[in-house]
Amino acid sequence: MSTTSANKTTVGRQAQLPLGRAFKISMNSLRIRFWRSMVTAGGIFLGIAFLATVLTQWLMQWPVAPKVDAGFIRLDGQINGPGDYDVYKPVPVEAGVQAGIPEEVIKRVQLKDGNNFSLTEIIQGQLQEKRAVRNLARVKKEWQSLSKYEKDLPLYVDILGGKDIKIGDAVKAGVPKAIVAKAVVHGETIEWARLFKELQRTGKPDSITLATALNKDITPAQAISAGIPKDLVDAVMAVPREIEDEEESEDSGPPPPKPGAFRGTLLAKVLDENPDFWTEFRYVNNLRKVLPVYADMAAEKDIRVEEAVKAGLPRKVAEKMASQYPTFKGADLIDIFREQTDGIKPIYLATALDQDITIKDAVRADIPIAIAKKLAGSGKAFKGSSLNDLIKDHPRWIKIWTARVSRNAIFDTAPQAAIDKLAKSYSISLKEALDEGKGPDAKSANLGNLMIVNADGRKVKVNLNREPALAAATPLVSGDYVFIPDINSFYRMWWLVGMSLLVCMVGITNSMLMAVTERFKEIGTMKCLGALDSFVVLLLVLESSLLGICASGLGWLLGFVSMVLLAGFTKGWDVVATMNPWLVLGSLGVCVVAGMVLTLVATILPAMQAARMPAAMALRSEI
Amino acid sequence: MATVDKKEYVVRTKDLVKEFTMGGQTLRALKGIQLDIYKGEYISIMGPSGSGKSTLFNMVGGLDKPTDGTVFINDVDMAQLDAQELAFLRCRTIGYIFQSFNLIPVMTALENVTLPMVFAGLSQDECNERGMELLNMVGLGDRYHHKPTELSGGQQQRVACAWALANAPSIILADEPTGNLDLKTGKEIIDLLKKLNKENNVTIIPATHDLKMLDISDRIVWIRDGYVERIEERADVQLQVGVMENEEH
Ligand SMILES: Nc1ncnc2c1ncn2[C@@H]1O[C@H](COP(=O)(O)OP(=O)(O)OP(=O)(O)O)[C@@H](O)[C@H]1O
Ligand SMILES: [Mg+2]
């Protein structure tokens, strides 16, 4: 062996290939295994796209501030939920008087302690007055045109509801007399309830029929003595009690029949269902004519005058009822309207027929367009009944707004200059606002990423963790919106990103592992041909980092663009515009680096394993 | 034997032992191989399947490490070499030909042939020039842009021969180069190897079952069960081959 060390010098050392060559080989390899590479790249692509959406969202200055009332500021987010607070501290009464606020005004808004007053309430009062004046004018104007319908519409809504309408009312409401007359004839009926009363009062029909009509109990003995054949009475008695009970539950009125007796209506029912029972008895024949009418009464149906007379009600009584209560059903009037529409405004007709009224028709009929639109909601038409409801509401609103105007008129006397002067010196600072709004969740507030949105839309980010002194030095103004993000949601977001990247990495590792084992033989061959282990690693790493860069670049593009579009369309383009272009570039950098790191970590282990394997073993593997 | 004695050794193995451990069981594939191979020799390694030919081949080619014993290539102990030197050796001193060709499937014939030259540090132009030269030599000059899958088995093996020759090695190790080929193409490869042996004085070490190889070998090493059973001079086997070939037909 002594010769070995001396001879060792005769063997040269294999040099590392220049990077350019390696790069070319890996590009070629990627090109050839295009689709497999695309799958690996897809994993990185999606993972990085998610990271990019989160980063982009982070760069945008959410949220979009809501409108905050004058005199207030709103604290939102992780402090005590969204809450409005007075932007002004209590103002001493003397200061107010000195500034020029009338004493009556101060008296109105004096605080409980008596020494101070609330500036916010003055500002609010002024606003309320202005609002009330505006609203009153609007409601009054609407009422001018709507009041025309005040009288008429309820009638037509009644028609729609199928209620009974008095002839007098209909005529008064403008329904032509001819039409009303027709409607009454059409509905020439007697209402059961009135007929009932009449029957009870006169007591003329015999006791059995009356009992039927009144749904009273009849004993068998009574029935037989009244001339009803015994077998018929027995049949009625034989009807099972359950059926009677059923009849009853529909009635739900009278108690169950006494033992040994039966309900009057049951007699009518049995007669109706069993024609065999009709015998030659005169009385039963008479009953046959009469009982159905009384059964109808018990069932609360309307009965024709003629039928009532035929059934034994004195004609005088029947006619008196029909003339004394000249009513008709709304439904009858609708039928007639359908046939004959002369002289009725389309809007009434639509109401009566329960048809939709289009906004256009409503405007033609003098209904203010604002009201028509309000009633129609998102649609193009509305029902007449809702117009009726609104008309009922209007006088009430006029009253309400009138009261508000008079109540708040006093605040108009406070001069604007005085209010401005006080507002400047008594508004609270950010620190005071935060102290005031501090709730049980305040601990998880992320004071490092606080945002103030002015009433005019200007946004200011404040980092109170870095500069705590800013809190006391930042005065708030009326209408400011302060958003305090939740530190947990911040962590949650990054946790989510971390998890998704981890999952993404597992996926890439898997596909890289497959890519490498698939090439064991190729790697073995290369080693036979003189490739160094480090070259094999370099080749695989180059390949995967090329993939990583391209995929993560594209992933960033997807995430960024989709987030921008989403924010632009849902929250407005001004939110998108708040992004700092340098930070956007930075997010691209972060994404690309993250993608590279992911792929490198995923590749390095399988690559090293493949490179270290003896060439013989690598050659033997068949995949 | 006497003439050969004066020549220098190219490959020497000393008590070469290789054990494979699988699931606690140890399998001795090589049981102390002593083998001296001279420069410019055509020496066939013969033996039944499983006798350890491929294993020996891997040891000699530096593709695997022996369990015990030493392999000297040009009097250098392989075990003493570091990774870079070993790679250098594989790249320039030894050329490999495999039974299953092992061409890189995603590369064209030319790219395959030039790969060892790339590793040897030749420029792209030099590579292409020499690659085409080699392909022409093996008769595949017009197929340089074909992928292995577009070539027949014999053509692939010829590309592999060109491959093995890329960096003008002094040794060619061929593990059953004709194993996957029919008689005629097998013969072509054998002729090619013989031509290289004669013209370039390359030491050819094929492991084979192919009796046609015997015909042209200077010496034949018979291996059985990991032992060198016997080593025969060509003259000794001439007769036997005739007999065997007759039996075959
Ligand atoms: N990597 C390995 N792991 C375990 N056993 C192996 C390994 N390589 C070879 N062997 C075993 O070593 C013995 C010799 O194998 P080898 O491949 O050298 O035979 P061979 O002579 O080349 O046979 P063939 O003519 O069939 O190719 C065999 O029994 C084989 O099972
Ligand atoms: Mg073998």
CATH assignment at residue B172: 3.40.50.300
DSSP strand pairing (B68-73 vs B76-77) = antiparallel
Q: What is the DSSP letter of A280?
A: S
What percent of chain B stands above pLDDT 70? Answer: 91
CA distances to A136, A340, A393, B107, B215 from A398, rounded to whole Å, are 6, 38, 9, 90, 122
The answer to whether residue B1 sits within a structural domain is no
The residue ranking higher by pLDDT, B159 or A292, is: B159
Lowest mean pLDDT among A128-142, A386-400, B34-48: A386-400
| Amino acid, single-letter form, for residue A444 | S
pLDDT tens-digit map of A63-80: 667 788 888 888 887 666
Q: Does A528 touch chain B (CB under 8 A)?
A: yes
Does B4 or A132 have the greater pLDDT score?
Answer: A132
Count of domains for chain B: 1
Which among B90, B98, B103 has the least Cβ separation from residue A530? B90
**Which helix H or strand E contains A367, and what residues bound it?**
none
Q: Give the DSSP letter of residue B42.
A: B
Residue B232 lies in a domain: yes
Look at B102 and A521 and tell me if their CB atoms are within 8 Å: yes
Flag whether residue A19 sits within 8 Å of chain B, measured between CB atoms.
Answer: no
Q: Is the CB of B49 under 6 A from ligand 1?
A: yes
Per the prediction, chain A carries an average pLDDT of 78
Using 50, 70 and 90 to split pLDDT, how confident is the model at A133? very high
Task: Judge whether B77 lies within some domain.
Answer: yes
Cβ(B48) – ligand 1 distance below 6 Å: no
Question: 3-state secondary structure string, A114-160?
Answer: CCEECHHHHHHHHHHHHHHHHHHHHHHHHHHHHHHHHCCHHHHHHHH
Closest Cα in chain B, distance from residue A448 (Å): 55
- Would the pLDDT of A454 be above 70? yes
- Its domain, for residue B232, covers 9-247
Helix spans in A258-380 (H)? 264-273, 282-298, 305-310, 315-324, 330-339, 346-352, 359-364, 369-376
Is the distance from CB of A383 to CB of A376 less than 8 angstroms?
no
pLDDT over threshold 70, residue A511: yes
Q: Of the candidates A84, A121, A112, which has an alpha carbon nearest to the alpha carbon of residue A436?
A: A84
The answer to whether residue B230 sits within a structural domain is yes
- Phi, psi of B227, deg, nearest 5: -110, 155
Read off the pLDDT of residues A16-25 as tens digits, 9 standing for 90 and up: 777 888 888 8
Tens-digit pLDDT profile for residues A517-567: 888 888 888 888 888 888 888 888 888 888 889 999 999 999 999 999 998
Contact (Cβ atoms closer than 8 angstroms) between residue A367 and residue A91? no
- Residue among A529, A539, A613, A620 with most chain B CBs within 10 A, to mutate: A529
Please tell me what DSSP assigns to residue A93: H
Question: CB of B20 closer than 6 A to ligand 1?
Answer: yes
Q: Is A130 on the interface with B (CB under 8 A)?
A: no
CB atoms near residue B6 (< 10 Å): 7
Residue B224 belongs to a domain: yes
Q: Output the 3-class SS for A510-522.
A: HHHHHHHHHCHHH
How far is CA A181 from each of CA A166, A176, A307, A327, A579, rounded to the nearest angstrom?
11, 9, 22, 10, 76
Average pLDDT, integer, range A609-613: 84
**Partner A contacted by B65 (CB < 8 A):** yes
The tokens 């007669």 sit on which residue? A271
Question: What pLDDT, on a 0 to 100 scale, did the predictor assign at position A251?
Answer: 44
Q: Give mean pLDDT, residues A571-577.
A: 79
Q: A17–B61: do the CB atoms touch at under 8 Å? A: no
From CA B199, how far away is CA B209, in angstroms rounded? 25
Pairwise CA distance, residues A42 & A36, whole Å: 10
- Paired tokens of A408: 């708040």
Asked whether residue B46 is assigned to any structural domain, the reply reads yes
Q: Which residues of B touch A533 (CB under 8 A)?
A: 83
Residue B43 or residue A455, greater confidence: B43
Q: Give the residue from chain B lying closest to A10, CA to CA.
A: B76
CA A113/CA A271 separation, integer angstroms? 86
pLDDT tens-digit readout, B76-130: 888 888 888 888 888 889 998 888 888 888 888 998 999 899 888 888 899 999 9
User: Rounded distance, CA A156 to CA B239, Å?
Assistant: 127
Kindly indicate the confidence band of residue A195, based on its pLDDT and cuts at 50, 70 and 90.
low
Instruction: Establish, for the pair of chains A and B, how many residue pairs have beta carbons separated by less than 8 Å.
Output: 104
- What's the pLDDT tens digit per position in A224-251? 777 777 777 777 777 665 544 444 444 4
Considering CB atoms only, which of A29, A526, A532 is closest to B106? A29
What is the mean pLDDT of the segment spanning A361-381?
83
Stretch (H or E) spanning B80:
none
CA atoms within 13 A of residue A70's CA, in its CB half-sphere? 14
Q: Which range, of A90-94, A148-152, A341-345, A505-509, averages the lowest pLDDT?
A: A341-345
Residue A110: burial class (beta carbons within 10 Å; 0-12, 13-18, 19+)? middle
The answer to whether residue B145 scores a pLDDT higher than 50 is yes
Name the residue in chain A with its Cα closest to that of B81. Answer: A8
- Pocket residue to mutate for ligand 1, from B22, B25, B55, B178, most atoms within 8 A of Cβ: B55
Q: How confident is the model at residue A570 (pLDDT cuts 50, 70, 90)?
A: confident
Q: How far apart are CA B139 and CA B122, in angstroms?
A: 23
Specify if B3 maps to a domain.
no
Cβ proximity of A512 and A604 under 8 Å: no
Let me know if residue B22 belongs to a domain. yes
Q: What is the ipTM of this complex?
A: 0.85
Total residues belonging to chain A: 623
Per the listing, tokens 């042209």 go with B216
Q: Let me know if A622 is exposed, middle or buried by CB neighbors in 10 A (0-12, 13-18, 19+).
A: exposed
